[in-house]
Structure 1
Amino acid sequence: MVDKGGRRVMWHDYLRHAITTKLNCRVFAGFNANVDVVIKLNADMIAGIMKQEPQILDNPPAEPTEVWPVTTNTEFMALLKECIKVGKSHYGVMDSKLGDWFSQVFLQRSEAMGGQAGIIANQMAALGATSSVYSPVLSSKQAASFDSRVLYPEVNSGITWIPVRESVNDQWTKLNYIFEYAKGITFKFGDEEITSPRANRVILGTRNPKAAMGFDPEIASHLPELGQTIDVAFMAGYHHGRIEGRAETLDEYIKLSSDDLLRLKSKNPELKLHLEYVPMPDADDEKKLLKSLAPLFTSFGINENEIRRLLAGLGYGELAAEIAENERAFSLYKGALAVARELNVPRIHLHNLGYYVVVLMKPYGVDPEIVRQACLFASAVNAVKAMQGGAVPLEDVDQMVDYPLSDVGMKQLQEFVSEAQSLGLPAGEAVLATGIMELDDHWALVVPAHIVPNPVSTVGMGDTVSSSAYAAEISLAAAAQRGS
């Protein structure tokens, strides 16, 4: 039997090897790219607003996190207060007019690439993959936010890949306002003091009918050709649920999106498709959309907070409640397995602070040890992002070679094994040593990850983990196949 110190050495060896990964794959990202307006909250900012506008706390909504869209500063402050209190992330939609008030009261801000497609495209380019992106609306401001190496599909008689910075097609820019807060800051909302239990953020995005979350009709007929030129597509934005003028109802949007995904894979059946979860405002609509679209994907990414909402919407209220009451690797594993079976997706990657839980449904075409190594590579990438922000260059990843995996992750792995054993599942020393538990119809992985205290930024961490892990998995699997 290997003691705890020996296991740490073993996992450190896994990490050292994982960090040498090279992304030798062709990556595509769609649809949502935007410019993030990042506001790093501090106590003085909130105190200043309270002094100038004390009435802002009057008559708050009963359920601030359910307001959609956020239209007033009172709704916003109630939402911010609620999210800071519990330390959880939140994504919502706002009336663009609220941005004028933000400009008046939050003077310290910065701008960066935002949106799953934008963040993933830049990160993949920085790591050396052949990276491309598609977003129907591309202003000069948006285009300038992309890495110069990112490509864009131009349609002539066929598909021609050109630099995204040369692909401007509109003047409107989608803005997402990101309100970040660090752990341990005490904010005073009127007479109530709240100390943030962990670092996190609140995201409010603007919307415009131009920003359709789908392929333009001009490119749709060329999707089979496009699919032949890529190895993996990371897709997000389906939570919008409609395209004005083309798919006004959810049923029409599902049909349009399904047809496009099938076209994309039609001449490349081995094409991998990853769906990164973003919540929809209506749980019934979300269930209908995901039950229809998710089976077309080979991978699905989600975090520990989002899975509770998804499970409840899919009818697994008890699992959602268990995670809420006692969030741990084993409860998240049960939730991820339920999602995999319900949505018929072969790979679920759940990213959490300090560890990842992955479910692979059999038959899965990649060795689970490769999946684990890819997750460790993603953890290293994400840790560097937490330290320095932005897209992480490949040459910076090796600075994590001696940065230990988190105590949280190692403890969660040990407790996962203990709980699994108590239920008669095949868990033991081998699972502690590898992070992999094999069952009849699936594998379960618990992979310790890094924790960086007081990260420079939390925006895009889930997207970074999901894309880095899956692209690394595809690259490592291809290398192993060539070697055999």
Structure 2
Amino acid sequence: MVRELLEKARGLSIYTAYNTNVDAIVYLNGETVQGLIDEFGADAVRKRMEDYPREINEPLDFVARLVHALKTGKPMAVPLVNEELHTWFDSHFRYDVERMGGQAGIIANLLSNLDFREVIVYTPHLAKRQAEMFVRKPNLFYPVVEGGKLVLKHPWEAYREGDPVKVNRIFEFRAGTAFKLGDERIVVPFSGRFIVSARFESIRIYTEPGLRPFLPEIGERVDGAILSGYQGINLRYSDGKDANYYLRKAKEDIMLLKREKDLKVHLEFASIQSRELRKKVIYNLFPLADSVGMDEAEIAYVLSALGYDELADRIFTYNRIEDTVLGGKILLDEMNLDVLQIHTIYYIMYITHADNPLSEEELRRSLELATTLAASRASLGDITSPDQVEVGLRVPYNERGEYVKLRFEEAKRKLRTKEYKLVIIPTRLVQNPVSTVGLGDTISTGAFTSYLAMLKEKGEL
């Protein structure tokens, strides 16, 4: 069933934008973490943890937020705003791997490796170092304008000298890693990653003015678009531009992509530390999207920005399925989405309206493909061919699968759900993943493209 659905999805053409970067990955161990704590002192680290810095201005901010992430075992991303700290990081860590990062880049390489019919990826910054991280496949293209016409080239042939490169540092941690914070012994409960995301003025999220008139042509050419990276927008820039300027352009981009046909657009949401920016992204872009993907922490952030603080707090504190379902219903209705996809470590969920063209069984099949692809990626570190879906099929569902199904049925009985289609499946959980980077992007890509494939089969696309 999963194989057949993947085969259908591979017939699609997909456009993805905007964010790419170099991921410099460190595989953490207890000794390294202990060394960082000892360098600054447990008391200083504990006090800064209480302050909970929202961005990294100095090394202690990093250590405090890292220890917090390790203690909870939850994946986190915190922006690095002080460009001078590059030297400190490079002097303290040896990077185990350097590879493609950023949602658009990861998604483009994944779709290309899965042999989708055509993958068009756009990022406003394409230095040679970045271009060389795209896979060299004949189905992968970067749009450029030559002689007043749209030309599709491989990213390897389209790079520009002098473009800036964004480097994100990713600290992968494993469940069971132990260290001491003063007298407190901490054991990491879950595997995950802590991302130090570079947020510098030189890196911006936009479509170059020369390419924008050709977005309708791109929209007409593809079956769907996956857009991401809005978390990289700054509230204000030194040249006088601000978030409102770039969000206006982002809205125009979506409308241009949809101008020639009702193109399905998926937004992949990522944590935005600033509540003000989060609110702007939600209110400006969500109503133009057909589909949105996020994890359970991100739905809580979104609900908080929409004014549902009590419900957001419940999701953060208790992580109950019924609260996530309620929050999903609110978001689906308030933002007028076709489909909302929520992925967590133990389950993936779809929430749509009752009149959605796909049946609950078809939606379930879409989620099955999504979790299988993620299990393949977690097992191998990357997916390099469609055949590797077999690896994910051999990964068992997580041990809480039956409990998840039971709580989901309880939630449906408690809440008014007749006007909705609600589908949940347990995740296939790799106990010792080679890497956790890109798993959420893989889930969302597998879900959205298989959703499109089934819509197309029904003549709804």
| TM-score of the pair, normalised by structure 1 | 0.87
Corresponding residue for residue 136 of structure 1: 124
In the alignment, which residue of structure 1 is the partner of 2:423? 445
Pairwise CA distance, 1:208: 3.5
Give the total of aligned pairs: 453
Q: Which residue of 2 aligns with 1:43?
A: 30
SS of equivalent to 1:305: helix
Which of 291, 299, 316 is residue 299 of structure 1 equivalent to? 291
What does 1:290-329 correspond to in 2, within 5 Å? 290-329=282-321
Candidates 218, 224, 242, aligned match of 2:210: 218
Q: Does the 8 Å CA contact 1:18/1:376 hold for their aligned counterparts? A: no
In structure 1, stretches of 5+ residues that fail to align are: 1-13, 426-437
Query: Does structure 1 retain, via aligned residues, the 8 Å contact 2:17–2:104?
Result: yes
Residue identity opposite 2:360 in structure 1 = P
Q: CA-to-partner distance for each residue in 1:262-295, whole Å, 9 max, x for gaps?
A: 11110122x1111111233321332133112111
Alpha-carbon offset, residue 418 of structure 1? 2.9
The unaligned stretches of length 5 or more in structure 2 are none
Give the secondary-structure state (helix, strand or coil) at the position aligned to 1:222.
helix
Partner residue in 1 for 2:252: 259
Code of the residue aligned with 2:18 in structure 1: it is: F
Check the 8 A contact 1:300/1:347 in 2, yes or no: yes
CA shift at 1:246, angstroms?
8.4
1:77 to 48, 63, 78: 63
Q: 1:44 to 1:62 in 2, by over 3 A?
A: closer
- The TM-score with structure 2 as length reference comes to 0.91
Secondary structure in structure 2 of the residue aligned to 1:203: strand
Deviates more, 1:453-462 or 1:44-53: 44-53
- Identity among equivalent positions (%) equals 27
Q: Does 1:348 pair with 2:361?
A: no
Task: State which of 437, 442, 458 in structure 2 corresponds to 1:459.
Answer: 437
Change (3 A) 1:229 1:65: farther
Give the counterpart letter for 1:136 in structure 2. P
**Deviation, structure 1 residue 119:** 0.5
Q: Any conservation in 2 of the 1:60–1:74 contact (CA below 8 Å)?
A: no
CA distance in 2, matches of 1:413, 1:389: 29
CA distance in 2, matches of 1:15, 1:481: 21
Contact 2:178 2:188 in 1 (8 A): yes
- For residues 19 and 449 of structure 1, what CA distance do their matches in structure 2 show? 18
1:409-424 mapped onto 2 (5 Å cutoff): 409-421=401-413, 423=414
**1:151 aligned onto 2:141:** yes
Q: How does 1:12-51 map to 2 (within 5 A)?
A: 22-51=9-38
Question: Which stretch shifts more, 319-328 or 150-159?
Answer: 319-328
What residue identity is the alignment partner of 1:112? R
Conserved in 1, the CA contact under 8 Å of 2:338 and 2:356? yes
Amino acid of the residue matched to residue 158 of structure 1?
K
Structure 1 residues 319, 392: CA separation in 2 closer, same or farther (over 3 Å shift)?
farther
1:387 to partner: Cα distance: 0.6
Q: Conserved in 1, the CA contact under 8 Å of 2:354 and 2:418?
A: no
Contact 1:355 1:408 in 2 (8 A): no
**SS of residue in 2 equivalent to 1:184:** coil
Report the equivalent of 1:283.
275
* C-alpha RMSD over aligned residues: 2.4
Residue 186 of structure 1, CA deviation: 0.7
> C-alpha separation between the residues in 1 aligned to 2:377 and 2:84?
32
Q: Distance in 1 between matches of 2:165 and 2:251?
A: 27
Is 1:89 the equivalent of 2:51? no
Q: Secondary structure at the match of 1:28?
A: strand
Q: Which letter maps to 1:262?
A: M
* Residue 337 (structure 1) aligns with: 329
8 Å CA contact retained: 1:370, 1:477: no
Match of 1:433 in 2: none
SS of equivalent to 2:11: coil
